[in-house]
Structure 1
Amino acid sequence: MGNGQSRKVHQTDWNMYILTIICLSLGLVVALLSLAMLLLSRKSMLIFGKYPCKGIFYWLKYGIALLVLRHLRYRIYKRNEELLSSPAHLATLDRPQPLTSDPKSYDVVSFVAANAAGQKLMVTLERRRLGVLKAALYLWLPGEGLYSSPKLPDMVHFTTDGKEESSEFKGAGFHIYPEQSMRSWRLKYDGKLVKQEKEQLLDVQLDLSFTSTADHFNYNRDLSSSLIADSIAREAWNDSFYSMLKSVGHIVEKRTHYEQNGELAGNIVLGERRLALELRGFRDHSFGTERCLSTINRYVYFALLLDDGSSMIVGNLSQPSFFLSSLKVGYVRTPRGNYQPITASNFELYSYGERGTPPQHQNFIVYTAEQQYLVQIRVEHSAVRYVGGDWESKVYNQFVACTVNGIPGQGHAEYLYRHNEGRPETVAAQDPKWYQRIKRFERSLSNMDLVNETEEFIF
């Protein structure tokens, strides 16, 4: 064999050797990736079968989740900061939102307020398709008790004949509207309230102005990344989880929630009396299409207003279908108006009211990057309302006094639980015929029955 042929044989052998090494390396990488994905998909131990503990690969998953979250937030918010903070964008964001053809389309505005004297107010209006309005009003006056909307615990009201959409927060005696975007809103109610203890029905005229005292806190943008990463790192990273990740950008775009701190002042005529109200509180605005209550296991939410001018939001959400079995949320607003996101908390859902009855006292610790806060809460009174067109959730509204690091304050708490008994027929029988027909249509879909496909669909 000549030298040329020998070199060709050696070159061929060398190429085959290199190819073999590459194939073996790729196979090893694929095997290691498969093993890693298999290990990451393992479920952590669950408390009460719902709340995952930190698994053996928690810190690896936490680090990955933190990097991905920071990248997403940079791509969606940070590099678009100039546009997202422009007056034109904020004006669009802060007005009543047009409801889309999506049956889950929603638009919600709420106010939670209190003062050092212990007076407390909670108002929420949720616009849904075809003029359906979910509304609630609570007024707590020390020494007198609780006044509330007469239809509660049911929140469903109807502002149209079912043939047109609403375009503002108006109906059932309410009218809430922005006067200056991200600056002031007007809250009016002309109707009746029930004094719960005496079941006494009173004529009421409420006229309050909310004036913001700080910038808005956007939950998608401003929540601590470490809190979200902690929740995600506890979950099993299985095929369903990776499928959800592919659409997370789309999901974020379909769900907006922001809050502002401010002052709520004005007058209320309660029966024969006229009262001046001066409160500090929160306004929140939520809208989108990704707000299906039937997927939420539980949540707890505290809104606290302290005598030194600071305030605090602390919450914990359990939504396992969205791979957030225990997501802690919240922030502290300093007396100077600065928001400090909560970075950790020892408030665990399984320790507080897991059996369906909220506790009357709660003590827990929350952390920001700057400080640690010991929160002590005492419930003064509570009331129940049902949320959703089919009463998918039961909410305990608590009116509380609190102490945070020794500073007294007042506030509200909400404990939400799944409710599987539906909306009672005695309540539903009072609904307009067109709404009853729609609900029958939805139940038929749920039961996989043959239905008229031209019927409307609304959650």
Structure 2
Amino acid sequence: MLLIICLGIGLTLAFLSLGLLVVLPLLGIFMVVLGLGLLLLSRKSVLIFGKYPCKGIFYRLKYRIALLVLRQLRYRIYKRNEEELSSESHLATLDRPQPLTNNPKCYDVVSFMAANAAGEKLMISLERRRRGVLKAALYLWLPSGKLYMLPKLPDMVHFTNDGSEESIEFRGAGFHIYPEQSMRLWRIKYFGQLRCESELVDVQLDVQFNSQAEHFNYNRDLSSSLIADSVAREAWDESFYGLLKSVGHIIEKRTHYEQHGQLKGSIALGQRELQLELHGIRDHSFGTERCLSSINRYVYFALLLDDGSSMVVGNLSQPSFFLSSLKVGYVCTSEGVYLPITASNFELYSYGEKGIPPQHQNFIVDTAERSYLVQIRVEHSAVRYVGGDWESKVYNQFVACTVNGIAGQGHAEYLYRHKMGRPDSVSANDPEWYQRIKSFERSLSNLDQESEEDFIF
């Protein structure tokens, strides 16, 4: 940056002293102004706890620039291709289990979060990775105070074959989750065991997710003002401009959408059978750009209200991606209309920054139409670890809530960095081929001699 400024000053002095054409000194002056502008925009804002940037002196200018660039990018990728992207053939391709490529970072995740007014809550997540590796979580919270979960939790890693095959569907470890009608019906089955305290119970779960709502695509539908706010707080240095050049490519490598609907079916817990009727959210995410080790923190709320509406609110901190504090979310009306959140006063540094999530949370979020006062009370929580080496620790909270006076139930996730690794007592039970792969990964991180071994992140 200083090189640009010096070059501009040198050009200006040279042109003036030689009495050349008037336009040349103007060009030099323009270069100086441009260099000074870029230098000022690269200044770092004050950081809260050394992580979360405040609004700097040039925040408003950077916000407007970011908003303009973002709108142009979205128009180029989505708006002008709207007819194709909303076609039945495209949606069918989007909604099915995705093929896993040779990229070691490729992933395909489907999750469900559901609850009802009685206080029953269900959370299921399956993540497909290469070589048949499946990362699974299931929690069932009942109003009696009992929490049922997969026996292997807090570890999520399961192996569906001997490592020689690639999976083509969400199946394994007792699960089978599949679409029956694209963007409308999904079937969720689990035959196996769940653990409640120290007791193992035989379980048969068979429920159907039914939605008549459209889907909310985070790349396309998240409020532009929220993204521009996060980007405007960052220092626009050379690394930032380098990332900006590849942002279109990165977006194409990440797909994340959610859909609201109803879950109905049954679950047999030993000799006891329950009929489930829940209001829920389905999440489908896939791509190759999902590196947990680069995420500092995130908090995510999925709130299902008694009037049939719902709300998703979150905040993600990923400084390496120049999103030190990105707020996300939307309100979904009882008619299935999504209203993106345009502002929120939920700040990561105010909630659980020391590694322990709070038991109560109160904050305000805004859409273009109105403001919402959100009040949350935690009823119970459980811990799980995500990533092949337990890169992150997640607190799953089962909550009761009130939004503008309307009662509801829901889920919250608090994710933190975890640097202790996956314990030997857990990894000792992994298949030999997987242990060999993880050993190879560690040798790469230690800059040891390379091997012909394939590997998984």
TM bin (shorter chain)? over 0.9
The equivalent residue for 2:224 is 225
The CA distance in 2 between the partners of 1:143 and 1:18, in whole Å, is 88
Which residue identity is paired with 1:457? F
The CA distance in 1 between the partners of 2:113 and 2:44, in whole Å, is 38
The equivalent residue for 1:8 is none
The CA distance in 2 between the partners of 1:213 and 1:328, in whole Å, is 27
What's the offset of the Cα at 1:114?
Answer: 0.1
Which residue identity is paired with 2:112? F
What's the offset of the Cα at 1:451?
Answer: 3.0
Which residue identity is paired with 1:394? K
Aligned 8 A contact 1:47 1:350 in 2: yes
Residue 327 of structure 2 aligns to a residue whose secondary structure is strand
What's the offset of the Cα at 1:291?
Answer: 0.1
What's the offset of the Cα at 1:20?
Answer: 3.0
The equivalent residue for 1:304 is 303
Aligned 8 A contact 1:304 1:409 in 2: yes
Which residue identity is paired with 1:21? V
Residue 242 of structure 2 aligns to a residue whose secondary structure is helix
The CA distance in 2 between the partners of 1:406 and 1:223, in whole Å, is 26
The equivalent residue for 1:13 is none
Residue pairs, 1:190-205, within 5 angstroms? 190-196=191-197, 199-205=198-204
How many residues align? The count is 441
Unpaired stretches in structure 2, ≥5 consecutive residues: 1-16
Q: Identity across aligned pairs (percent)?
A: 78
The equivalent residue for 1:457 is 455
The CA distance in 1 between the partners of 2:227 and 2:193, in whole Å, is 42
Deviations 1:391-437 (A, max 9, x none): 00000000000000000000000000000000001100000000000
Greater mean deviation of Cα atoms: 331-340 or 121-130 = 331-340
Matched, 1:317 2:316: yes
Q: Calculate the TM-score normalised by the size of structure 1.
A: 0.95
Residue pairs, 1:215-254, within 5 angstroms? 215-254=214-253
Deviations 1:178-226 (A, max 9, x none): 0000000000000000002xx1100000000000131000000000000
Which residue identity is paired with 1:174? F
What's the offset of the Cα at 1:17?
Answer: 8.8
Distance change (3 Å), C-alpha of 1:30 and 1:367: same
The CA distance in 1 between the partners of 2:296 and 2:420, in whole Å, is 15
What's the offset of the Cα at 1:19?
Answer: 4.4
The CA distance in 2 between the partners of 1:26 and 1:309, in whole Å, is 61
Deviations 1:101-147 (A, max 9, x none): 11000000000000000000000000001110000000000114100
Deviations 1:229-269 (A, max 9, x none): 00000000000000000000000000000000000000000
Q: Calculate the TM-score normalised by the size of structure 2.
A: 0.96
The equivalent residue for 2:379 is 380
Residue 65 of structure 1 aligns to a residue whose secondary structure is helix
What's the offset of the Cα at 1:336?
Answer: 1.7
Which residue identity is paired with 1:79? R
Residue 189 of structure 2 aligns to a residue whose secondary structure is strand
The CA distance in 2 between the partners of 1:18 and 1:339, in whole Å, is 63
Aligned 8 A contact 1:116 1:307 in 2: yes
What's the offset of the Cα at 1:164?
Answer: 1.2
The CA distance in 2 between the partners of 1:95 and 1:64, in whole Å, is 37
The equivalent residue for 2:13 is none
Aligned 8 A contact 1:385 1:394 in 2: yes
What's the offset of the Cα at 1:18?
Answer: 8.6
Aligned 8 A contact 1:344 1:366 in 2: yes
The equivalent residue for 2:424 is 425
The CA distance in 1 between the partners of 2:145 and 2:419, in whole Å, is 34
Residue pairs, 1:16-415, within 5 angstroms? 19-196=20-197, 199-415=198-414
The CA distance in 2 between the partners of 1:210 and 1:335, in whole Å, is 16
The CA distance in 2 between the partners of 1:21 and 1:47, in whole Å, is 48
Distance change (3 Å), C-alpha of 1:29 and 1:134: same
The CA distance in 1 between the partners of 2:100 and 2:39, in whole Å, is 42
Aligned 8 A contact 1:213 1:263 in 2: no
What's the offset of the Cα at 1:350?
Answer: 0.1
Root-mean-square deviation (CA, aligned residues, Å) is 0.9
Moved over 4 A (4+): 16-19
Which residue identity is paired with 1:111? F
The CA distance in 2 between the partners of 1:193 and 1:457, in whole Å, is 31
Which residue identity is paired with 1:100? T
